[in-house]
Amino acid sequence: MKLVGFGRLSAAAAAVTWLLIMLGGAVCFTGSAKAIPDWPTSFGRLVPPSGIGALLEYAHRALAVAAGGLIAAMAVVGLLRFRQDSWRLSLPPVLAVGLLIAVAIFGARAVLSSLTPALAVIDLSCALTVLALIVATAVAAFVRRVPGSTHGLPRLRGLLGWLALGSCASVFVALALTVAVGRAGAPSTCLGWPAWVRAATTVRSYGAVAVIQYAAAAAATLFVTAGLVGAWRSRTTAAGVLPAWTVAAVLFFSGVLTGELAAARGFPMLLLGLRVAFASAAWAALVAVLVLCLQLPGARSGPRPAAGRRLLDLILLTRPGVTLLLLAGAAAGSIAGSRSLPPLGLLGWMLLALAMAAGGAQALNQYIERQTDSRMARTANRPLPSGRLSPAEALAWGLGLCLAALAVMAELVSWRAALLTLAGECWYVLLYTMALKRRTPQSIVIGGLAGSLLPVIGSVAVSGRLTAPSLFLGLSVFLWTPPHFWTYAFMHLPDYANAGLPVAPLVFGVPRVRRGILAYTAALVLSTFLPVVFRSAGPVFLGAAILLGGVLLAATGAAWRRAEARPALWLYRFLSLYLGLLLAASAADALLRGPV
Q: Are 192 and 259 in contact (CB under 8 A)?
A: yes
pLDDT at 285: 96
Average pLDDT over residues 535-539: 91
pLDDT at 563: 56
Closest CA to 476 of 432, 401, 541: 541
Specify the higher pLDDT residue, 344 or 195.
Answer: 344
> Alpha helix (H) ranges present in 303-375?
307-317, 320-338, 344-368, 370-373
> What's the chain's average pLDDT?
86
pLDDT band, residue 565 (cuts 50/70/90):
low
pLDDT at 145: 56
pLDDT at 263: 84
- Those residues whose C-beta lies under 8 Å from the C-beta of residue 315, and which sit 6 or more positions away, are none
**CA 153 – CA 479 distance, rounded (Å):** 58
**CA 50 – CA 35 distance, rounded (Å):** 11
pLDDT at 207: 84
pLDDT at 564: 56
Q: Which of 277-291, 387-401, 547-561 has the lowest mean pLDDT?
A: 547-561
pLDDT at 186: 64
Neighbours of 105 (CB within 10 A): 12
CA of 178: how far to CAs of 125, 278, 348, in Å?
10, 14, 33
**CA 313 – CA 220 distance, rounded (Å):** 30
pLDDT at 90: 84
CA of 500: how far to CAs of 47, 252, 385, 437, 438, in Å?
55, 41, 17, 11, 8
Superfamily of domain 307-593: UbiA prenyltransferase (1.10.357.140)
Closest CA to 171 of 140, 131, 204, 143: 131
Query: What pairs with residue 45 in β-bridges?
Result: 42
Q: Which of 126-130, 190-194, 435-439, 490-494 has the lowest mean pLDDT?
A: 190-194
Average pLDDT over residues 410-427: 94
Average pLDDT over residues 22-28: 82
Average pLDDT over residues 528-543: 93
Specify the higher pLDDT residue, 269 or 255.
Answer: 255
Average pLDDT over residues 147-158: 59
pLDDT band, residue 42 (cuts 50/70/90):
low
pLDDT band, residue 200 (cuts 50/70/90):
confident
On the CB side of 540, how many CA atoms lie within 13 Å of its CA? 15
pLDDT band, residue 228 (cuts 50/70/90):
very high
Tell me: pLDDT of 64 over 70: yes
Average pLDDT over residues 76-104: 84
**CA 180 – CA 213 distance, rounded (Å):** 10
pLDDT band, residue 567 (cuts 50/70/90):
low
pLDDT at 306: 74
Could you read off the pLDDT of 365-410 as tens digits, one per residue?
999 999 999 999 888 999 999 988 889 899 999 999 999 999 999 9
Specify the higher pLDDT residue, 236 or 103.
Answer: 103
Average pLDDT over residues 119-147: 85
pLDDT at 58: 79
Specify the higher pLDDT residue, 409 or 515.
Answer: 409
pLDDT at 302: 55
pLDDT at 132: 95
Tell me: pLDDT of 197 over 90: no
Residue 42 backbone phi and psi in degrees, to 5: -120, 100
**CA 488 – CA 484 distance, rounded (Å):** 7
User: What's the CA dihedral at 496, 499, 501, 506 to 10 degrees?
Assistant: 40
Closest CA to 358 of 322, 393, 334: 322
Average pLDDT over residues 11-32: 86
Closest CA to 323 of 363, 366, 359, 351: 359
**CA 431 – CA 476 distance, rounded (Å):** 21
Average pLDDT over residues 169-186: 82
pLDDT at 387: 87
- Those residues whose C-beta lies under 8 Å from the C-beta of residue 381, and which sit 6 or more positions away, are none
Specify the higher pLDDT residue, 479 or 513.
Answer: 479
pLDDT band, residue 178 (cuts 50/70/90):
confident
CA of 312: how far to CAs of 57, 236, 382, 383, in Å?
50, 20, 11, 9
Q: Which of 30-34, 116-120, 586-590 has the lowest mean pLDDT?
A: 30-34
Left (φ > 0), alpha (ψ -120 to 50) or beta: where does 158 sit? left
pLDDT at 549: 95
pLDDT at 474: 95
> Does the reported pTM lie above 0.75?
yes
pLDDT band, residue 112 (cuts 50/70/90):
low
